[in-house]
Amino acid sequence: MQAQNLFDAAEQLGKQFSARSAEFEKARRLPKDVSNAMAAAGFYRMYVPTQIGGLETSPADSARVFERLAQGDAACGWVAFIAATSGSTLARIPVDTAKAIFTTPETMIAGVFAPTGKAIQNEDGFKVSGKWQWGSGTQNADWVLGGCSILNAAGELLNDKAPTSMCLMPAKAIEFADTWHVSGLQGTGSTDYGVSDLQIGGEHVVGFAKHTPPAGPLFQFPHFTLLALGIAAVAMGIARAAVDELVTLAESKKRVGTNSTLATRPHTHIEVARAEATLRSARAFFYDAIDTAWSAAVQGNKVTLDMRRDIRLATTHAVESSVKVVDAMYTLGAGSAVYHNSKLQQHFRDVHMTTQHIMVAPSTLELTGRLYLGVESNTATL
């Protein structure tokens, strides 16, 4: 029932947000009322532990929410998955601290895992300084994450086995830079941000204080896995929207000098059929890989390396397939697709932005291929 309620909310809000896409792109961020609506719907707490008021939604159900939101507006789907994934960090800090951060069900956490900051230990905890890029949704967040190298007072790595971690910082301490001038996903507000000599307690460094995450199946999935799933879900939502947009356009678009519509052309029939097959095949692999791992986790078993390998391959494949679908629909749209009032040009820009994330880069294919071949590999990002 919970999953259905979440999806129904995504369906409703996705339709509303679609009509406001131009507004989001112009602002280069999501308005506060949009972010609040997604928070109220429960999207931001899908990966938060139930013991502090979260939902612990399954990765497949969450992916369907992100996918449906992205079908309406890609920026909304993107920010929703970033916030949901960021919320999962509350499972790796002391419960009392997590409760103090997650004070209401609408609490939003967002941020960046890349360790471009430094957290230097002192008698009161850690002093954090750094600058981070790609801060999707952070301007609407209550708490902001920043990946840091964790150092002792002498500037040496505190723990060779865990040299980096994410630091939870109050949003009021964050300085934002106006850097988000980009080609796609313009409404995500993924601007640069930073802090200088911010004092935080050790309990705000994710994974630093001794704390055992909840035993639920969701927390058998690594943070990186959840992050990658969201990217693929958004890409597939964009692809579905592009096919739907082309079908609508094809009913009225006519070739110059003829009365025949785009919908009557054999080439259109072939390309739309290929697009449907490509997208649906990618979705089937994607959700099958997730369901296999989820079934194991529900039974109390580990999400194995083979399962994580399959999920990562399915994720990258879903993004690559979505790009093929959108490119084909954009090409079919011809001259009509290039204008700013065409959704096809926005879908084209947005889906190509998803490919730039390191979690779905070509290197993931190299890594998963090595694992299929039994070649020794660094699997830290799986």
Taking the C-alpha atoms of residue 236 and residue 321, their distance in angstroms, rounded to an integer, is 8
pLDDT grade for 293, boundaries at 50, 70 and 90: very high
| pLDDT value at 323 more than 80 | yes
**What is the span of the domain harbouring residue 366?**
217-372
User: Pick the residue with more confidence: 255 or 25?
Assistant: 25
Give the confidence band of 381 by pLDDT, cuts at 50, 70, 90.
confident
Distance CA 328, CA 325 (A): 5
CATH number of the domain that 84 lies in? 1.10.540.10
What is the structure's pLDDT at 145?
98
- Both 365 and 225 in a single domain? yes
Which burial class, exposed, middle or buried, applies to 4 when counting CB atoms under 10 A from its CB (0-12, 13-18, 19+)?
Answer: exposed
Tens-digit pLDDT profile for residues 253-270: 877 767 789 999 999 999
Measured torsion, CA atoms of residues 357, 358, 361, 366, in degrees rounded to the nearest 10? -170
| Global pTM exceeds 0.95 | yes
88 and 115 belong to one structural domain:
no
Percentage of the chain lying above the pLDDT 90 cut: 92
- Taking the C-alpha atoms of residue 80 and residue 229, their distance in angstroms, rounded to an integer, is 12
Task: Give the pLDDT band (50/70/90) at residue 209.
Answer: confident
What pLDDT does residue 235 have? 98
Distance CA(251)–CA(267), nearest Å, equals 14
Question: Could you tell me if residue 356 is inside a domain?
Answer: yes
pLDDT on residue 260? 85
User: Is 380 within the bounds of a domain?
Assistant: no
Indicate whether 206 belongs to any domain: no
Residues 223 and 368 in one domain: yes
Give how far Cα 67 sits from Cα of 119, 287, 340, Å.
35, 12, 23
Strand residue runs (E) in the chain: 109-122, 125-135, 143-151, 164-170, 175-176, 191-200
Query: Burial letters for 55-66: b for 16+ Cβ neighbours within 10 Å, e otherwise?
Result: bbbbbbbbbbbb
